[in-house]
Structure 1
């Protein structure tokens, strides 16, 4: 009898402990739920999370291999039974319980393309109470695809959500196209800079090397190596960015080849802060400024001149300057050149194409504050200043 009483007491205590632990755990869970925000806030977070996961797969367009992953996240975002993405007359991605719905999706997509508006099938006869909403993906006024969401039953809220998600998907595709266009533009600008380098400089460099072959063979060999280093860097294919140190190495080779032509008439002064050498800069951004100083600042005059290249640390930015004491140019012509207006003469535009291309690239990368600052006047030389952010985590640098 005593043992039974003791056992009952022990079991009662154990039950009390378990109940207490459950109460504490429930309070902890309730507190944790509150820490994550209200139900509405948590729903907004989940929607944003799914959208962020879908976005990269839409940037490649509806024909990209990852578009299937986008469909999975779009279905979760809409909370629908299934999602189908249609490009033209074919289904490019589907997720969820979409078996046997391809024909319906294509029929609905055709109606969407014809009207360029949201279309709804409230009830599909062959699928019981299942309904579908088709939203156009419109870019530049053209329907490039259709998002079809299936649900049972089809609710008005889901129809509105499908329309909004369709607009968002179209924006992601358009952003991807802009990124491709930006890369193509950057490549075109680099080709323009390389085209500027090719005909004028290469001819002069080879002529200078040839002049030393018989009179000073060791010097000719040195110049051949400098020429190889210069062309290897200028025509490389690794990325849009480099470091200031790599660009300066190429500039050294360029100036050695120019000294072979100008001799003592060309003086170069370097004032480079060591802490700036690792700064990431756009590929071929300083070199064209130096070439511009030689070709259009010093070359026209018989007396030659001096080029000063400097860099300094400005805490958040690196400032790089290229200065010459040559011919300079009219400030009005310079402004017209950089702004791309018709006031710049055709000859001037051809001569300074490198300057304008560098200015355009800097504006595209760093905004209006990234533009070149040029101080010049006729007969007063030219000072070109560029400022580059020291922190550029999104811009990769590659070896020369």
Structure 2
């Protein structure tokens, strides 16, 4: 009786070629260190199995031939035969060759351009034995009074393919191509730039000059289309001098409020649009402005609740206005400037020093200090001494432009 968990000896398998010996000892290859099956290499092959190596050995292999002495002979290398040159083409027909050789390859001299009354002569050298339709196509422009077609070519400059072939067979060299002459039609298209400068200036004035002043506080006449200046560089250079040089630009304090996208607080526009306009047009366009009117006015408490004092609302402390005066000082070439002062206090020489020094650096050929058109009966908030000093400091001497002597409106 066998013990529990132990396999009886009668059930142990015998050794076989497939599974090897049932012994627990394992043999290893001394070179590779891998285990070796006991039945490796001892399995018998199937009787129908055929080794492919034996089949390849039975296939005869082409080898070098042997002579009578048994020496191997290597086959000779086959040398390709050189290609014989192509035969020369047969000569052309003597009828066409003689006829074409008699032609002159040089171009036929064209008649002078000034002689237009002479009739047009056409000469055709038809070879002997020619068969087929003979088509002649003439440009209708040749029959006009100018004697030249819109697409006419110089006679004799174009050599046909048959002429080139006959010339090559006769001389052995190719004919040189004659330069093609391009004729320009006398009837050119008439456009805007072909008009006289006087007519172009009239058109520019109809487009760009407003009937009234360009007031930035109430832009009701800002419908002038400046897109015409984008057509070409010449129109841009000619038209912008009229757009900026013959209009009067009026800048006032804008009392409306608005807020940027990132702020919920409404703030007064003031002189922000004036500063933005002077920077957007650039220094070249700003230098073409000739007439300008500036109205200096204090801010209202209702539109500037974020300012907590009357002094902060005065125009002499407006940083945007101070920046505008610096731009005009460096870039403007004004001919006439009109100034209007309105506010709670009059300008004093010894009080508003910073503002007056900045304003005095703006130069013009003529300076006018007057009331605003909105408040014609109001008093000018500037001391008489301030007016005199501003005129002396701002008037350019000698004048840069021609100024019309007009003293009306001066105070």
TM-score w.r.t. structure 2 length?
0.21
Give the number of the structure whose residues are more often strand, by fraction. 1
Pick the structure with greater CA Rg.
2
